[in-house]
Amino acid sequence: MGQQQTISGGAQTGRQDVDIEMQLRKRPRLGEQIIQGILFFCGAVSILTTVGIVIVLSEESLRLFGSGEVGLVEFVTSTEWNPVIEKFGIWPLLNSTLMTSTFAMLVAIPLGLGSAIYLSEYASDNARSVLKPILEVLAGIPTVVYGFFALTFMTPVLKAIFGADVVGFQNTASAGIVVGIMITPMVATLSEDALNAVPDALRQASVGLGATKFETSIKVVVPAALSGIFAAFILAVSRAVGETMIVAIAAGSGSNFTFNPFEAAETMTGYIARISGGDTSYGTPDYNSIFAIGLTLFLITLILNVISRVLVARFREEYD
């Protein structure tokens, strides 16, 4: 009898809890609905903006290829870019863009990752509070300042090392090195966040097994944070590919298809900046070509983002 009363009392309590939950769900929460609407609006605007950019780039690119003066096959295969004589091969611009991005990552990856490991694993709170803001100051310097820094400082340094006859006044090496310096804070900050997300239990277990601090950092913490580190690298590559002012000032202009990093070569963004700020008439193939180049940059960035998501999903570690 007492057991039946207990069961009936528990069932009644359960029904009361359900009723209370239903009342809470039905209660209007105007503030939350407004916030949800604002967040949905922000997301919709960002998506529609991206769609609008793709539509504009695609329409203007179709004008270039639909005119009959420029063939899509020539655009993606030819190694000669000279709009004056109707030569529209993207490879000279793409090659110089990849060269500067490669130099940038050769600088940014070791410097950024090393800085992140130091700030996360070795630096004291006082040292971190001083060094991290100083490092992030680099991200706030205008890129045009970096461009003239590459032209007036990095190029003379390269000339002193490799010879004035070897290194040109404008070259992709100095531009790439300075782009790497510019994106180092991005790599360092994002990598440090990934390293800080690794549970301290892993560090303590490693030290408890006799590993040194360096071994713990390199063999335990870094592998556990690989997904975030790879994401930082991919975002930095995207930033390097899309950089404009540094390469426009320091890398030079012209349609050189060269693998020599000490020669001047125009990148895709440098060409866009030069043509869009010049006297090129609207509707001409030369003008429409900047939209085709912009679409190419968009596709490169999209591919990099897809690779980033794949790598993050592949190396993601989940801890309880």
* CB within 8 Å of 7: residues ≥ 6 apart: none
Q: Are residues 274 and 173 in the same domain?
A: yes
Q: Would 52 be classed as within a structural domain?
A: yes
In this structure, is the dihedral angle defined by the CA atoms of residues 108, 111, 113 and 119, taken in order, positive or negative?
negative
CB 188 within 8 A of CB 112: yes
How far apart (Å, rounded) are the C-alpha atoms in residues 214 and 14? Answer: 55
Rounded to an integer, the average pLDDT of 291-307 is 88
Number of H-type helices and E-type strands within the chain: 15, 2
Q: Are residues 246 and 123 in the same domain?
A: yes
Model confidence band, residue 285 (pLDDT cutoffs 50, 70, 90): confident
Most confident option among 29-38, 43-52, 126-135? 43-52
Q: Which token pair is 240?
A: 């390097």
Considering only CA atoms, which of 253, 254, 252, 257 is closest in space to residue 79? 257
Please report, as a single letter, which amino acid is at residue 305.
N
How far apart (Å, rounded) are the C-alpha atoms in residues 115 and 187? Answer: 9
* Domain termination site, one of 36, 66, 96: 66
CB 247 within 8 A of CB 162: no
Considering only CA atoms, which of 237, 241, 265 is closest in space to residue 251? 265
* CB within 8 Å of 278: residues ≥ 6 apart: none
CB 124 within 8 A of CB 264: no
* Domain termination site, one of 41, 66, 91: 66
Q: Would 145 be classed as within a structural domain?
A: yes
Q: Are residues 146 and 209 in the same domain?
A: yes
Q: Are residues 160 and 297 in the same domain?
A: yes
The predicted structure's pLDDT at residue 148: 92
Average pLDDT over all residues of the chain: 83
Q: Are residues 128 and 206 in the same domain?
A: yes
Burial class (CB in 10 A: 0-12, 13-18, 19+), 32: exposed
Q: Are residues 184 and 84 in the same domain?
A: yes
Q: Are residues 231 and 157 in the same domain?
A: yes
The predicted structure's pLDDT at residue 26: 55
Residue 244 has pLDDT above 80, yes or no: yes
* CB within 8 Å of 160: residues ≥ 6 apart: none
Q: Are residues 244 and 202 in the same domain?
A: yes
Q: What is the DSSP letter of 283?
A: T
CATH number, domain with residue 207:
1.10.3720.10
Q: Are residues 137 and 196 in the same domain?
A: yes
Q: Would 320 be classed as within a structural domain?
A: no
Q: What is the DSSP letter of 164?
A: T
Considering only CA atoms, which of 288, 247, 10 is closest in space to residue 143? 247
Residue 172, SS3?
A: helix
Residue 56 domain boundaries:
2-66
Q: Are residues 298 and 156 in the same domain?
A: yes
Residue 262 has pLDDT above 80, yes or no: yes
Q: In this predicted structure, which of 12-26, 67-81, 240-254 has the lowest mean pLDDT?
A: 12-26
Please report, as a single letter, which amino acid is at residue 147.
G
Count of domains for the chain: 2
How far apart (Å, rounded) are the C-alpha atoms in residues 201 and 188? Answer: 23
* Domain termination site, one of 47, 66, 85: 66
pTM for the whole structure: 0.83
How far apart (Å, rounded) are the C-alpha atoms in residues 139 and 150? Answer: 16
Q: Are residues 188 and 255 in the same domain?
A: yes
Q: In this predicted structure, which of 177-186, 243-252, 308-317 has the lowest mean pLDDT?
A: 308-317
Residue-wise pLDDT tens digits, 43-98? 999 899 989 988 888 888 888 777 666 777 888 888 888 877 778 888 999 999 99
Q: Are residues 44 and 107 in the same domain?
A: no
How far apart (Å, rounded) are the C-alpha atoms in residues 184 and 113? Answer: 9
Rounded to an integer, the average pLDDT of 223-232 is 88
Instruction: Compute CA distances 84 → 112, 119, 283, 284, whole Å.
Output: 42, 52, 15, 11
Residue 89, SS3?
A: coil
